[in-house]
Chain A
Amino acid sequence: MDSSFYLIQLLNGIQYGFLLFLVASGLTLIFGIMGIINLAHGSFYMIGSYLAFWFTSLTDNFLYGILLAIPVTLVVGYAVERLAISYLYQRDHLYQVLLTYALILIFNELQRMLWGSDVHSVAVPQAFSGSVQLTENQAYPVYRLLISASCIVIALAMYWVIQKTRLGMTIRAGASNREMVQSLGINVNRLFAVVFSLGVTLAALAGMLAAPVNTVYPGIGDGVLIISFVVVVIGGIGSIKGAFIGAMLIGLADTFGKVLLPEMASMVVYALMALVLFWRPQGLFGKG
């Protein structure tokens, strides 16, 4: 095992971290700003994957597939917020957990009715189907690098929207003082619907981008949900920066855990979470 081995593992870890960030940022956004615990977040990841598969097979083009799938998820997210979530803002978290858990079951059943229980695969777009030869034996698929690049672009875009635009300003204000924003005449209801819709679309987008490497199968969102909660809790609830650092930590811990402590591979990320919470109960960037 020479140094190139560890460098490639570093790349694997960062790559995984980027994908986690994409899912977890939506979750932390929704929780931080709206105070909603959205257990159905993983379902949107699944919806994204299936829509990407569906539209790609209809149009025979992965890019068109994604371009069609994004507006559909935005609409689904908006509708779910208006028709279900919006009735529970005044209620206890327990009600939100029950509702969003019910949504998981509904979405799973819909998935089964629409697409069946088979395993589907989405072809990697032709232009990115090559790979880079890293060592004598191992090549790195270009598409995986493209995923990381897309995640960086999306992260920068999110930073720009939240820090530099009017929408971002309202979102930040809404997060720190909801009543004040409302009394300044901003339509908080619409703001929440937009945030929810954007947040779940980030999860769906992660599902779409990952579809060609992941394959698409029932229950694909379940594992994603748990690991995103770990990321959000480590990073501090509601903090985008925290979600980024948390996702990178988890990505690296998971990868190197598998290599260095294979017997405990599945526990490493949870041990990391426990350590962080022991040190900072509110998470790395959480408001104490």
Chain B
Amino acid sequence: MSNLDKAGINRRTVLKGAAGLAAASAIFPSAFAIGGQAKVKVGLLLPYTGTYAKLGTNIKDALELRIQQAGGKLGGREVEFVSIDSEAKPPKAPELTSKLIKKEKVDFLVGPVHSVVGMAMVKMARKDGIITVIPNAGANQLTGSLCAPNIFRTSFSSYQPGFPGGKAILEDGHKRVVLMYWNYGFGKQVAAAFKQSFLPGGGTIVKEIPTPFPKVEFQAYLTEVAALEPDAVFTFYAGGGAVKFVKDYAAAGLNKKIPLYGAGFLTEGVTGAQGAAAEGVRTTLHYADSLDLPANHRFRDAFKKSFGRHADVYAVQGYDAGDLLIQGMNAVQGDTSARAEMIAAMESSTIDSPRGKFTFSKSHNPVQNIYLREVVNGENKVLRTVEEALEDPAEGCKIA
């Protein structure tokens, strides 16, 4: 009984406190409004839990860092971040997106990491017209068949690491290649883009091996690769699958005979876990930690100083999303109602990114350099720029 009483008191106290807070917050915004303009609300839909937690956190931190560097303001207005954990779960995406747009009434939408979450989010953003910046999700459709004037991407399309892969592997003198990838949307798009440059360039696909996603039992396939004896292998795997694949490939002794290539994610953020097995693996991506550019050094130092850990490609994409928002808002002096003008400014902006300067295509995807990297002592070293200012073909995009 006494327990129940206590609970009652506790709840009442809490309720009173909550009511007080609500009253206070009802007064304060108007008080601020007298002094100046209301804050700009930036809605973030990123994963902070689950497999993609690290990606979401790095994007958020780098985005905030960029805005902080610009005096913490967008177009002269203070910024308020409204952050929701997407958990990288597609079924939750429509509800969470709608919460940001309708309930929180944010001025900008930033997210997501996961491509399928991206589909749901972009479909709603298209209807609403809210300016949206995608800091990772790479599905071609997001700036292809689903493109819209208000949708921007600061990361990449799956075409972008795939297409240069075919060119790079031919330049290295490999003509007979086994193509292996996780058999789902993103993997298939990377593989298709690879073939677009590899086949016309005179290459032969000895065998295409789509493997079930997200399974990591590769032994049977590796035995097959050994028997096929190709010149090289091109792959798409990421995260835990990438670690397992690269380790299995080396354990089977294949790395000594048949060079391993892949879309950059094969060795991105996982070389520590791959260890010696990753040495010599070559990948194509729009960024490398070791990229020797002043903007990259500045960014990496600032990120390290602020958060005590090293930046990665995801942080770069978040950082550039921040830059794009700054440029858009500065162009209209913080007037969020001037949407068309802001979009025009963002469209024609040049981002001085840690990955190198880039601009936007008509479908609002980065027109960017793609580098061939090789793992040396656990780090992705840039060998050469495979494609300068590579533009996504934006298949099915009406505004392009």
Contact = CB atoms under 8 A, between A and B. Distances in A.
Contacts of B101: none
Nearest to B209: A262
Interface residues of B, number: 40
Interface stretch (B123-131, B186-194, B252-260): B252-260
B50 interface: yes
B226 A119 contact: no
B54 A214 contact: no
Contact of B243 (A119, A223, A254): A119
B252 A218 contact: no
Contacts of B224: 5, 259
Contacts of A15: 219
Interface in A115-169: 116-121, 123-124, 131, 133, 135, 137-141, 143-144
A263 B210 CA distance: 8
Given A121-B275, A255-B220, A258-B220, A137 B243 contact: no
A215 B273 contact: yes
A120 B214 CA distance: 17
A270 to B, nearest CB: 11
B240 A220 contact: yes
Contact of B240 (A5, A119, A133, A140): A119
A141 B51 contact: no
A141 B252 contact: yes
Given A12-B219, A12-B220, A137-B229, A119 B273 contact: yes
**Most chain B Cβ neighbours within 10 Å, of A5, A118, A133, A137:** A137
Contacts of B220: 9, 12-13, 254-256, 258-259
Contact of A5 (B53, B223, B248): B223
Contact of A266 (B212, B219, B252): B212
B247 interface: yes
B273 A138 contact: no
A121 B247 contact: yes
Contacts of B258: 137
A265 interface: yes
Nearest to A139: B253
A106 interface: no
Contact of A117 (B51, B222, B243): B51
B226 to A, nearest CB: 4
Most buried by B among A121, A124, A144, A259: A121
Given A5-B223, A117-B53, A120-B273, A217 B239 contact: yes
Closest 7 interchain pairs by CB?
A139-B253, A217-B240, A138-B226, A266-B212, A121-B273, A137-B226, A141-B251
Interface of B: 49-54, 209-212, 214-217, 219-224, 226-227, 229, 239-240, 243-244, 247-248, 251-254, 257-258, 270, 272-275
11 contacts: A5-B224, A9-B223, A13-B220, A120-B273, A131-B251, A137-B229, A138-B252, A215-B247, A255-B219, A258-B221, A263-B210
